[in-house]
Amino acid sequence: MKLRILVCLLSAAGCILGGDIQKLLNPEVQAVVSQVSADRIAEIQKKLETFGTRNIYSATDDPDRGIGAAREWIAAQFRSYSPRLQVSFDKHRLAKQGRAFRDVEIWNVIAVLPGTGEPERHVLVTGHYDTINLVYKTGPDGRRELDSEATAAAPAPGVTDDGSGTAAVMELARVISQHQFRKTIVFVAFAAEEYGLFGSGLYAQDAAAKEQVIEGVFNNDIIGSDVTGSGEMSNRYVNVYSEEPNDSTSRHLARYMKEAAERYQPGFDVNLVFRHDRFGRGGDHSPFNAFGYAAVRVTTPMENFSNQHTATDTFANTAPQYTALVAKANAAALASLALAPKPPELKVPEPSEGRAYASPLSRGTNSDGYAGYDAVMTWHDDHPEPDLLGYAIVIRKTTSPVWEKEIFVGNVTKYTLPNVNLDELVLGVKAIDKEGNESLVSAYVTPPYRQPKIATY
């Protein structure tokens, strides 16, 4: 137990934290992280390989081979982990479009662990269980083109892409379902990622239509390789991608994951990549971003392109020990967020006369009524949790990738930082409960400039 942070949390006055801060470790989160097993992940990956292919056009009535057998096995494993898990198939009839060359039924496999305090607030951890082995042919014009029928029939073991992400999701479901959390945790194995993000797109579309509250999506895709095709090797960090702008909710989720993962698994780093995804590519987090949800992609920096989408994406060419390290990073962030209170709400006041916009952050006013030099922050929490301790202000330079300072300000909804230059800083606020669990940050951001129509005569 670190006395400094404990004193700060219990202090009625503001406490400034900066530099290398070691915070209290939650025993529940520690237990979840420690129980993730590389051996179990390896066994899941080996089993997924035995299905031969999990292409969405592969067999659905063969008990041993194809996507039908794979999804039934995944669901059965989810059911075996805990009676608390609510397991179902999320079925959709996908019409011919894009790379999907004919109509097909796709099934997402879902396991839900209902929250005990705020079950309406969801946190997702995801991967995709479908696979593809791209086969090409020479077209009528002499150019290379995709052979859709041959691709659908080709062996596609997909152990790293994305048996690794699926195995991590399944192992997290096994471990986490032995515990209880404030929020609902949803474990999802998506289908049809390889054909155009269709399974995740339909899930996100439905969630948005139902106005479902999803605080964060941790999407794991290609987390099984620690050696590139050129021989470069590393198993000490993972890349986490998040979309623009710099203070998007997705980027705050990425920062949250980095802080939690590195706190509970020292020596394994989360590398923040400020890009929506790898260059020119996409994943199952993308549809959630498109519908306004905070979602990040978790992937190895050591991709072996020669194995992806081929028959050589086998267990022999994957690294379950590395996948387990990434799964532990997910476990730390997922459990921390599911235990945490909801983030504060930054309500924007009505614009005042002569102002293009108003903000819950202002400079205050001096004695003459002119703009001052303070940072006056307000926030709202209309239905605070019974175990809420209070709030912390977080601060960073505009060029810093992570939050640099914290000030615990108590159970208030307004705070003033005296004599600070708002133009050089980004400020935010987060909620903290009596166990030290921290919400996502709500950041004070300036709305983008919109050019008004200029009247002329």
pLDDT digits (tens, 9 = 90+) for 194-233: 999 999 999 999 999 999 999 999 999 999 999 999 999 9
Region for residue 308 given its phi and psi (left: phi exceeds 0; alpha: psi -120 to 50; beta: otherwise): beta
| 276 falls within a domain | yes
Alpha carbon distances (Å) from 287 to 57, 189, 363: 22, 15, 37
**Tokens 């476990």 appear where?**
331
Pairing label, strands 405-410, 15-18: antiparallel
- Whether the predicted model's global pTM rises above the 0.95 cut: no
Query: What CATH number is attached to the domain comprising 361?
Result: 2.60.40.10
Tokens of 271: 């590398």
Domain match, 275 and 368 both? no
Identify whether 325 is part of a domain. yes
- How many domains are there within the chain? 2
Q: Which of 290, 321, 339 is the last residue of a domain?
A: 339
Place of tokens 């300000």: 409
Per-residue CA distances from 345 to 78, 94, 383, 443 (Å): 35, 38, 11, 10
Reduced to 3 states (helix: H, G, I; strand: E, B; else coil), residue 6 is helix
Tell me what pLDDT residue 67 has: 98
Query: Does residue 31 sit within a domain?
Result: no
Residues 202, 350 within the same domain: no
Domain interval for residue 433: 3-23+344-444
Q: What single DSSP character describes residue 169?
A: H
Domain CATH number, residue 172? 3.40.630.10
From 339, 361, 380, the end of a domain falls on 339
In a domain, 453, yes or no: no
Q: Is residue 200 part of a domain?
A: yes
Same domain for 326 and 368: no
Tell which residue, 403, 414, 404, has the closest CA to residue 441. 403
Quickly tell me which residue has 């983030």 as its tokens. Answer: 343
Query: Residue 90: enclosing H or E segment and its boundaries?
Result: strand 86-94
Do 320 and 203 sit in the same domain of this protein?
yes
One domain for residues 332 and 382: no
Are 271 and 284 members of one domain? yes
Q: Collapse the DSSP code of 144 into the 3-class scheme (helix H, G, I; strand E, B; otherwise coil) and give the result.
A: strand
Amino acid at residue number 52? G
Instruction: Let me know how long the chain is.
Output: 457
- For residue 432, being part of any structural domain is answered with yes
Q: What is the mean pLDDT of each run of 10 residues along the chain (457 residues)?
A: 41 48 84 98 98 98 98 98 98 97 98 98 98 96 95 98 98 98 98 98 98 98 96 96 96 98 97 94 96 98 96 98 98 98 83 56 73 89 93 97 96 94 94 96 89 93
Query: Do 335 and 348 have their domain in common?
Result: no
| 169 and 119, same domain (yes or no) | yes
Give residue 369's pLDDT: 61
Among the three residues 339, 360, 381, which one is the final residue of a domain in this structure? 339
348/330 same-domain check: no
User: Within a domain: residue 284?
Assistant: yes
E strands in 221-364:
237-241, 269-273, 295-299, 361-362
Q: What distance in Å separates the CA atoms of residue 141 and residue 427, rounded to the nearest whole number?
A: 58
Please list the residues that pair with 392 across neighbouring strands: 408, 430
Of 48, 441, 31, 16, give the one whose Cα is nearest residue 246.
441
> 1 forms bridges with which residues in the sheet?
none
Mark whether 117 and 131 lie in a shared domain: yes
Per-residue pLDDT, 353: 46
In a domain, 48, yes or no: yes
| Claim to verify: residue 351 and residue 284 sit in the same structural domain | no
Residue 452 DSSP one-character state = P
Burial of 153 (0-12, 13-18, 19+ CB in 10 A): middle
Q: 161 and 14 in one domain?
A: no
DSSP state at residue 1: -
- Which pLDDT score, from 0 to 100, does residue 9 have? 46
